[in-house]
Amino acid sequence: MLATRLRLFLQWIPLLILSACSNTESRKPVIDIGQFAKRYYGEDAKWFMDNTPFFECSDKKLEQVFYYRWKMYKAHIRNVGLNEFVITEFINHVGWDRDPYCTINAASMHHIYEGRWLKDNRYMDGYINYLFQQGGNDRRYSESIADAAYARFLVNGDTSFILRQLDSMKMVYNKWADHFDSTRQLYYIPAMPDATEYTIASIDASGGKDGFEGGDAFRPTINSYMYGNAMAIAKIALLKNDYATAKEYQERANDLKYNIESNLWSDSLRHFADRFKVNNKYVHNWDFIRGRELAGMVPWYFDLPSDEPKFNSAWSHVLDTSQLLGKYGLRTNEPSYQYYFHQYVFFEGSRGSQWNGPSWPYQTSQVLTGMANLLNDYKQNSVSNSDYLKLLRQFAGQHYLSDSNINLVENYNPDLGGPIVHYYWSNHYNHSSFNNLIITGLCGIRPSLSDTLTINPLVDSTISYFALSNLNYHGHRITVVYDRDGTKYNMGKGISVLVDRSPTDVQQVNGKYQVNLGPTFHIISLPQNPNYALNITRTGYPVPSASINSSPDTSLFQAIDGRKWFFSEITNRWTTEGSSSSTDWYALDFGKPQAVSMVRFYLMADNKTFGIPDSASVLYNNGSQWLPVKLAAEKSAPLSGNTVNTIFFDKVQSRGIRLSFKHSGSQVALSEVECY
């Protein structure tokens, strides 16, 4: 393993030298990512500069939402162990997530498609390992995680990593046999475990009285997911020359494609639609449901339907304002349905989650991904770039609770606008993709195994310019520029591309642009050191204590749970609120002596209740008393809010660490503390 890492690192060195020396004229960057990072991320800019691509666009709302989505995504990255990371769906714990990780497998495909553009491989490596090696994909909900993991491989090119997932992918795939009807040769599922409670199938199966559970149906969703997973497994098997596995899963995918096209396409609806599995006094087995749902567009997420006018015509329903397109978002089913927007469930007097009309970012992002595939991979005249941009802008608009408040929540009213479900748990809701739609749709980056990168921007006359910079693809740093008239970036009209900071030749082939990148360079992320402060189970060690607000049932463990964010409206922090003292402390008992030389801590500052303390100091426990550490540098960096603060000191063997704050002007909010 060490030899492999060294070989890959040495392979990377020539590229670094080439990148540094290839342009001796020190070309000015297309966009100043430092300036953009400061504007959108403030004090926390460095993490985003190190990890994410940057985007400038003539459409400023798309630009703003792009940066918000990375900020939101970072808040959902949770460290759960040594080199172990997960991505959460709800920003805080909910009763139906997987304890103690707080994960739900329903939106994992969105998390991976989005997170594949992060430079630090530890995040997606950790998450995919968790899903396939540690039981994180518990199949509580239908999923297409193998497809997403393969899509991530197309970006970072780490063959050895994706091959390690193959056996687990096959095992999970085969477990779904419990939802397979061998007579119909299709998968079936009720509404709720398909992450879509209160669908036409489930409501009608109850006689219009309910629909949260039940309504087993052969759905375009789960069958498309299983097609995507089978295709991914077949392609991964080919990477290791496992031709038997590749053949088996390719045949499974082919059979599903045939049966979806033959049996889930409704000629009367001109749409892919559910057929009932359940048979009762209200509905009959194998009958189609009586209306169109947005779920019928999911097959294009996987490039599943054949390129035929019959199937492509279904997209007319997505663009029809009397059918699936509302003024403020895509509808999950059509207004003509008898129980459209009929409210069945309430929570504390407010409307609850339903899929009988409300607009869900979850499915909107699936449909936009499918539309981008249609525009790239099909010969059709059903939709245009302008249609894609219209829906993308509509989706971006849903992120705004007001002109100054960007906060994505659970679902929305497509007819009247505004959120429907906006409980405390659904703020900054990570249940969809958006930045992948910008990168692979608007900006046109189309990942593949090839050393040639295909770029097909989905622009029209409403986009005068964009620049996508700092994008990591196949180990190269990519910048793609679109300048309609050549006056914004002074690089010429149309498309320009930089690879590893140097302009490169762009060829136009069949209306798309191609750039030769050369070989893939896999960048090794440095392994994580043990964080002695982490405790996601709230049992054993470390044990926290504090000078105030010290109940273990409240906020003490929130400062060592591997989650950190700086959204003031979502509480995940220990605070000094209520303290009458000007000095307070937060301490950890490791249970045994540990060698510690660095403490990182993250302060949430809202410039109202919580601010920056006057000072912070670290003490260690020598077994009998608390002593100050000896700082490694005489002068420490000024304390900052809403980002990481680091104190280095001479290594100590200590059973515990105490972080002491002096705060004369405001209270202190500690989002997270880490000890290394």
Arithmetic mean of pLDDT, 661-665: 94
Segments of the chain assigned to CATH 2.60.120.260: 543-675
Arithmetic mean of pLDDT, 51-77: 98
Cα(345)–Cα(354) distance, rounded to whole angstroms? 8
The pLDDT tens digits for 187-199 are: 999 999 999 999 9
Cα(570)–Cα(425) distance, rounded to whole angstroms? 8
Reported CATH class of domain 543-675: mainly beta
The pLDDT tens digits for 102-145 are: 999 999 999 999 999 999 999 999 999 999 999 999 999 999 99
Whether the per-residue pLDDT at 12 is higher than 60: the answer is: no
CA triplet 296, 302, 307: central angle to 5 degrees?
Answer: 80
655 confidence band (pLDDT: 50, 70, 90): very high
Paired tokens of 431: 């249940």
The pLDDT tens digits for 442-478 are: 999 999 999 999 999 999 999 999 999 999 999 999 9
Closest to 195 (Cα-Cα) out of 441, 429, 427, 400: 429
pTM of the entire predicted model:
0.95
pLDDT of residue 24: 35
Which is higher by pLDDT, 56 or 403? 56
Which is higher by pLDDT, 403 or 176? 176
pLDDT of residue 527: 85
Whether the per-residue pLDDT at 2 is higher than 60: the answer is: no
Report the percentage of the chain scoring pLDDT > 90: 90
27 confidence band (pLDDT: 50, 70, 90): low
3-state DSSP call for residue 265? strand
Cα(544)–Cα(558) distance, rounded to whole angstroms? 10
pLDDT of residue 471: 98
Arithmetic mean of pLDDT, 342-356: 93
Burial of 397 (0-12, 13-18, 19+ CB in 10 A): middle
Which is higher by pLDDT, 5 or 389? 389
Indicate the helix (H) or strand (E) that contains 471: strand 465-473
Averaged confidence pLDDT in the chain: 94
